[in-house]
A and B are shown apart, each in its own frame.
Chain A
Amino acid sequence: MKIICNLAGITDYNRPVQGVTDIKNSGFEYVFIDLKHIYQKGMEENLKDFSDACRVLISKCHEADVCVGVFRSPKLIDHKKEIGLFEFQQRLAEESIKISSEAKCKYVVVPPITSSLNSANQWELNREYYTKLIPIAKEKNVIILLENQYSNYNGRIIRGICSDEKETSDWIDKLNEIAGEERFGICMNTGTCNLCGQNMQDYAVTLNNRIKVVILRDGYGRDDVSMLPFTAVNHRQSQTDWLSLIRGLREISFNGGLILDIEDTAAAFSPMLRPQLLSLAKATAEYLSWQIRIEEQLKKYKSIVLFGAGNMCRNYMKCYGEKYPPKFTCDNNPKLWGTNFCGLEVKAPEELKSIPSDWGIFICNIYYREIEKQLRDLGVKNSIEFFNDEYLPSYYFNRLERM
């Protein structure tokens, strides 16, 4: 799974070297560039200025050994001049596709256009808009991604175009039919889903393999902000439904790009702390990617054993026990040795010293690092993995209280 960092909030577009270098040094290899940050008023007279400015930014990225994973075409808003606006919007989208191709980037997000004058027929408007982009997208071999939007009703954020998963699926299928090949997909923006409390699992499952990239961003669900995942919290709980997202992406075996958008968090942090923030951001994106692909860890081993005979072990057995049955489990509590827990024999940790070398050990206890050290100190040489039950496919209704 490709992890991509949004430049916004981290990089000064006129002087991008430091920001791009910070991103690279944090371990990211790909960036996401929203070209609206390059576009300036007046450029409509000469789009060459826009393209040149884009090329300068791309070259700085390449100099820092960072590739552009996804572009987003600028979305302009000016209801008064809607007709001319749409034409210009299309020219910008075409230019973005060309730039994307030059940068050897496969995906460009082209947000749908919204007419305030003809709200009843948004599909017809967008069908025409995207259809006109097909020849250039084919020529440049770029995939166009639609993106879910929100709308504004007298200051209140409501669901916008492409927020309905069924309708969006239909749009993409029809556009691909017009193109005669798979030329369109969707960029699922989690922050936008969160603004209107959407069921992200349903969204992901319905759109399925039409989803090519997912934008990960947190927020309080009130304003359109992009925060580092797990930072929009209330009383020790995240305000974004990550469980629903992870379940959905797992269900469709998502393996596309994950764009980490932390624009507001990054901009609010002191530039002095950005390198450290970016390291945390990278780790956070890796964690979410790991959660989505959690089964891949289990598939790696010929056989597995667990460590822990508590709730996490019980949860493992409920969700994965049948598909990836462990040989046994271990626990530090001598009273449990020799007993059976959720169909597994509970053994002493010392037993792990004598298991075959190609068996994996999965720690089912939140004291991961402490237990890992214990096992290494014991002389265990096998691979040790951490299992996690924060985002499981299902849960028991009650927790065991015997521990």
Chain B
Amino acid sequence: MMNIYRPIILIGWKGCDFMLQIGVQTKNIVNDSNPEEGFQLMKESGFTCGDFSLNSYLLNTSLYKFELNDFFNKSDRELEDFFTPHKEGAKAAGITINQMHMPYPVYVPNGSKELNDYLLNNVAPKSMRICKFMECPNIVVHGLKLARNLGSEEEEWKYTERFLDSITPLAKEMKITICIENIYSSIGGHIVEGPCSNARKTVERIDRFNDKYGAEILGFCFDTGHANLLGIDFEDFITTLGSRLKVLHIHDNDGIGDLHQLPFTFTKNRENKASTDWDGFIRGLKKIKYNKVLNFETAPVLSSFPEEMKATVLKFIADIGKYFSKKIES
């Protein structure tokens, strides 16, 4: 079997000898009608990696309304056929699919048994197989949001772990790292901690899980925007994660809504300094000697700017990535 793990290639950039690879989510860039065009645009903009937005084929907004589409009714073979142009388009453009987002939620709290069985037993394993087909080494998943019903975050984790257990055999066989992400919940529109928002607990759980399977199956996806919504100390969170940090979702917000905007966008006072602690982000990655992909989850930026500016905006995002890389590597 082909080993889909690939070493991170460090590429020279301006004043520094090496730089980290820069990635961006494919949503709003790569279209099903002509995937290669989108991947080419990513490459021309300065990206070398892609974060494949598998979640855009089964939207969370629909699932929370108990609405399913038939996309994942396709057989594995049909799904491979469907994604072959994407895979080949990425290869042709020289874009590595480094990470992929599994559709979420994988469990709808008030959903029917049929819906939740479908998500757990059909969507999740098919996502894993698509991940392998795309030769993608990391898949990002969300923990289950069940603390309200179950009574505590500890009980909630047990359900998440059961879900992880269900996809781990596939992950092990396919050499895919499952990356659990820090997410949030909402109380009357106010953001509060959701699954995996506590770094210490998460680290213990990742280690325990990997010990159980005797392999590094579980890693972490640090989402800067979600952490910012909770006023979390980036540097502390990242250094606590250490080598368990496998992938990133880099984006910014105003501390109130999950806006997925460009880093350095928001200010809160008359000095107009960035109100998100990007220095702490850099310090954290530098401390843990992060050598993986700097990946941006900034699809909404592309829908807010005019279509004619897409290439310019993408290049700017990649430049921000290069700036981060330079600071981390310096």
A interface, CB within 8 angstroms of B: 150, 153-159, 166, 194-199, 201-202, 220-222, 232-235, 237-241, 243-244, 247, 393-398
Q: Which chain B residues border A155 with CB–CB below 8 Å?
A: 267-269, 271, 275
| Bound CA span A235–B186, Å | 13
Contact call A154/B269, Cβ cutoff below 8 A: yes
Q: List 13 A-B contacts (CB under 8 A).
A: A155-B275, A156-B228, A156-B231, A157-B255, A197-B231, A198-B192, A199-B192, A199-B193, A201-B152, A239-B188, A239-B189, A397-B149, A398-B110
* B187–A202 CB distance below 8 A: no
* CB pair B273 A154 closer than 8 Å: yes
Taking the nearest CB of chain B, how far is it from the CB of A122, in angstroms? 12
Given A394-B150, A394-B151, A395-B149: A156 in contact with B188 (beta carbons within 8 A): no
* Shortest distance between the CB of A223 and any CB in chain B (Å): 11
Q: Does B230 contact A (CB under 8 A)?
A: yes
Using Cβ atoms and an 8 Å threshold, which residues of chain B touch A396? 149
The interface residues of chain B, by DSSP majority, are classed as loop
Write the B192-217 contact mask toward A (1 if CB under 8 angstroms, else 0).
11000110100000000000000000
B277 close to A (CB within 8 Å): yes
Q: Which residues from chain A contact B148 at a C-beta distance below 8 Å?
A: 243, 395
Asked if A397 contacts B188 (CB within 8 A), the reply is: no
Within 8 Å CB of A197, what residues of B? 184, 190-193, 229-231
* Nearest-neighbor residue (CB-CB) of A242 within chain B: B187
Contact A159 B233, CB 8 Å, known A154-B269, A154-B275, A199-B193:
yes
Q: In the complex, what distance in Å separates the CA atom of A79 from the CA atom of B118?
A: 57
Q: Is A199 a contact partner of B149 (Cβ separation < 8 A)?
A: no
- Is A158 in contact with B197, judged by CB distance below 8 angstroms? no
Cα distance, A239 to B228, chains bound together (Å): 18
Task: Report Cα–Cα, A261/B158, bound state, in Å.
Answer: 37
Bound-complex Cα distance A197 to B189 (A): 11
Point out the residues of chain B lying under 8 angstroms from A158, CB to CB. Answer: 231-233, 277
Task: Collect the chain B residues with CB atoms within 8 Å of residue A153's CB.
Answer: 275-277
CA A154 to CA B279, docked complex, whole Å: 12
Known: A199-B153, A395-B148, A395-B149. A166 touches B200 (CB 8 A): yes
Contact (Cβ within 8 A) B230 A196: yes
The A-contacting residues of B in range 128-173, CB under 8 angstroms, are 148-153, 155
Complex contacts, A398 vs chain B, CB 8 Å: 110
Number of contacting residues on B, CB 8 A? 38
Question: Least Cβ distance of A159 to chain B in Å?
Answer: 5
Question: How far apart sit A397 and B151, CA to CA, in the bound complex (Å)?
Answer: 12
Determine the residue in chain A with the shortest Cβ distance to B234: A158
With beta carbons under 8 angstroms apart, the residue of A241, A247, A395 that contacts B192 is A241
Docked-complex contact B188 and A202, CB < 8 angstroms: no
Bound-state Cα–Cα, A153 to B233, Å: 10
Asked whether B187 lies within 8 Å of A199 as measured between CB atoms, the reply is: no
Provide the residues of chain A in CB contact with B233, threshold 8 Å: 158-159
Chain B minimum-CB-distance residue to A201: B152
Residues on the B chain within 8 Å of A240, using CB = 187, 190
Question: Is the CB–CB distance between A393 and B231 below 8 Å?
Answer: no
Give which listed residue, B150, B231, B232, contacts A150 with CB less than 8 A: B231
A398 to B266, CA, bound (A): 40
Residues of A within 8 A of B153 (CB): 199, 201-202
- Which are the 4 A-B pairs with shortest beta-carbon distances? A155-B268, A237-B188, A196-B231, A155-B269
Query: Which B residues are CB-close (under 8 A) to A150?
Result: 231
Instruction: Kindly state the separation between the CA atoms of A241 and B200 in the bound complex, as whole angstroms.
Output: 22
Q: Using an 8 Å CB-CB cutoff, how does the interface string of B231-251 with A read, 1 for contact, 0 for none?
A: 111000000000000000000
CB distance from B200 to the nearest CB of A (A): 6
Measured between C-beta atoms, what is the minimum distance from A400 to chain B in Å? 13
A164 CB to closest chain B CB (Å) equals 8
Question: Known contacts A197-B190, A197-B193, A233-B188; is A154 also within 8 Å of B151 by CB?
Answer: no
Q: Is B256 an interface residue (CB 8 A)?
A: yes
On whether the beta carbons of A241 and B187 are closer than 8 Å, the reply is: yes
Chain A CB within 8 A of B274 CB: yes
Docked complex Cα distance between A166 and B191 (Å): 22
Q: A154-B271, A159-B232, A195-B231 in contact; A244/B151 too (CB < 8 A)?
A: no
The CA-CA distance from A166 to B236 in the complex, in Å, is 14
Note all chain A residues with C-beta closer than 8 A to B275: 153-156
Given contacts A154-B267, A158-B231, A220-B190, 5 further A-B contacts (CB under 8 A): A243-B148, A247-B152, A395-B149, A396-B149, A397-B149
Q: Chain B contacts of A395 at CB under 8 A?
A: 148-149
Q: How far is the CB of A104 from chain B (nearest CB, A)?
A: 38
Interface check B109, CB cutoff 8 A: yes
- Binary per-residue interface labels of chain B (51-90) against chain A in the complex, 1 for a CB within 8 Å, 0 otherwise: 0000000000000000000000000000000000000000
Contact of B268 among A154, A194, A235 (CB under 8 A): A154
CB-defined interface of B83-110 with A at 8 Å, one 1/0 digit per residue?
A: 0000000000000000000000000011
**Residues of B with C-beta under 8 A to A237:** 187-189
CB atoms of A394 and B149 under 8 A apart: yes
A247 near B193: Cβ-Cβ < 8 Å: no
Complex: A220 Cα to B189 Cα, angstroms: 9
> In the bound complex, how far is the Cα of B276 from the Cα of A24, in angstroms?
45
Q: Closest A residue to B228 by CB, please name it.
A: A156
Contact (Cβ within 8 A) B200 A221: no
Contact (Cβ within 8 A) B255 A156 = yes
A238 to chain B: which residues have CB within 8 Å?
187-188
A267 to B24, CA, bound (A): 49
CB of A157, distance to nearest CB on chain B (Å): 6
Nearest chain B residue, comparing its CB with the CB of A251: B152
List, in ascending order, chain A residues with CB within 8 A of B268's CB.
154-156
Closest CB-CB distance, A245 to chain B, in whole Å?
Answer: 11
| Shortest CB distance B17–A (Å) | 29
A166–B240 alpha-carbon span in the complex (Å): 13
Chain A residues with Cβ below 8 Å from B197 are 199
In whole angstroms, how far apart are the Cα atoms of A247 and B198 in the complex? 18
- Min CB distance, A247 to chain B, in Å? 7
Return A241 CB to nearest CB of chain B, in Å.
5
A153 to B150 CA separation, bound complex (whole angstroms) = 35
Specify the chain A residue showing the minimal Cβ separation from B236.
A164
A153 to chain B, nearest CB (A): 5
* CB-based nearest B residue for A163: B231
Q: When chains A and B are docked, how far (Å) is the Cα of A150 from the Cα of B187?
A: 20
Complex Cα gap A29–B37 (Å): 72
Interchain CB contact under 8 A, B271 and A235: no
Q: How far is the CB of B164 from chain A (nearest CB, A)?
A: 20
Asked if B255 and A194 sit within 8 Å, CB to CB, the answer is: no
Complex Cα gap A396–B151 (Å): 10
Q: Which of A166, A196, A197, A243 is most buried by chain B, counting CB atoms within 10 A of its CB?
A: A197
* Minimal Cβ-Cβ distance residue in A for B152: A201
